[in-house]
């Protein structure tokens, strides 16, 4: 058993490969629709969630507590699906969120830019009922690349195209979908990538930590405070400079939390001005 994350450029065929891998392995296919359904449990609006999934936050949004709540919930949901094991997760930064999980296979699907533009031109009429010219398709693909790359850079501070973040990079210029599926399925069945108890516990700890962070980001008394969260076997540690009493109360209400510990961070004094 394993977790497969797939990061893909528009027109690369990554979604089709991910769906076929899930069918081949008998895994659950986690796409935008399933993520949106899960987000409804947290009271998120689909329009806002879709916007943040497809674009990088604006300068104003980066300082907005509601945007932070949406992003935190989105990350919590990825981990909730990862808890199920035997899943294929498309996008959502899964390759970075789960990078320390030993049984998570991080796949990137790419193709030359011009080829991706041609594929988008061919595919869009069936999806949107209208044809795209070369100029429009080129701009659409270029903008999509920039927005996805910018979103990952904002959230994780890395270049999403860096091959060092992936276990397998597939160029679909030559490889057909069935060949790519064979590569991923073979990797997923490798004994060294099977789920261990330690790996399962790591995912459980991270899932609980993100669920607590999501609860803090939604609560009116804690949403504006920067509070870091760690979890281990149901014991949650909160670290921050303010609102920690309220944060403790919020954390204790999250299902799965057995105990809460507080680490108060001291704010260094501001040195006096010397003229």
The structural architecture, per CATH, of the domain 3-193 is 3-Layer(aba) Sandwich (3.40)
Question: Which pLDDT score is estimated for 255?
Answer: 95
Question: Which pLDDT score is estimated for 127?
Answer: 55
42-48: long-range pairs with CB below 8 Å, 24+? 42/73, 42/76, 42/77, 42/214, 42/218, 43/218, 44/70, 44/73
CA separation for the pair 163, 167 (Å, rounded): 8
On whether the pTM is more than 0.75, the answer is yes
Question: Which pLDDT score is estimated for 261?
Answer: 94
Q: Is residue 83 a contact partner of residue 203, using CB atoms and an 8 Å limit? A: yes
For 3-58, the pLDDT digits (tens) are 999 999 999 999 999 999 999 999 999 987 887 787 777 776 566 666 656 566 66
CA 134, chain centre distance (Å): 31
What residue ranges of the chain have pLDDT lower than 70?
44-64, 125-130, 267-275
- Distant-in-sequence, close-in-space partners of 200: CB < 8 Å, separation ≥ 6: 85
Enumerate the domain spans of the chain: 3-193, 219-264
Report residue 232 as tokens.
């281990």
Q: Which residues pair with 7 in a beta bridge?
A: 108
Question: Which pLDDT score is estimated for 155?
Answer: 78
Q: Which residues pair with 181 in a beta bridge?
A: none
């Amino acid at each position: 058993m394993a977790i497969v994350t797939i990061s893909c450029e528009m027109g690369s065929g990554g979604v089709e490969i991910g769906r076929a891998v899930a069918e081949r392995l008998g895994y659950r296919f986690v796409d935008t629709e399933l993520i949106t359904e899960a987000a409804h449990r947290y009271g998120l609006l689909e329009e806002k969630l879709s916007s943040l999934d497809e674009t990088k936050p604006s300068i104003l949004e980066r300082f907005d507590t509601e945007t932070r709540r949406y992003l935190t919930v989105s990350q919590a949901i990825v981990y909730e699906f990862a808890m199920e094991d035997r899943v294929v997760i498309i996008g959502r930064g899964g390759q970075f969120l789960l990078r320390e999980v030993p049984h998570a296979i991080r796949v990137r699907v790419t193709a030359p830019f011009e080829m991706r533009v041609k594929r988008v031109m061919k595919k869009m009429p069936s999806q949107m009922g209208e044809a795209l010219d070369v100029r429009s398709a080129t701009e659409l693909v270029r903008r999509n690349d920039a927005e996805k790359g910018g979103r990952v850079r904002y959230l994780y501070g890395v270049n999403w195209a860096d091959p060092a973040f992936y276990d397998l990079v597939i160029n679909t210029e030559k490889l057909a979908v069935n060949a790519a599926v064979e590569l991923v399925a073979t990797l997923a069945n490798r004994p060294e990538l099977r789920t261990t108890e330690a790996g399962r516990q790591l995912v459980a700890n991270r899932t609980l930590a993100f669920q607590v962070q999501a609860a803090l980001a939604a609560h009116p008394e804690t949403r504006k405070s920067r509070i870091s969260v760690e979890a281990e076997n149901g014991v949650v540690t909160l670290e921050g400079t303010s609102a920690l009493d309220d944060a403790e109360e919020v954390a204790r209400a999250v299902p799965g939390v057995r105990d809460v510990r507080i680490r108060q961070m001291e704010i260094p004094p501001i040195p006096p001005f010397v003229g």
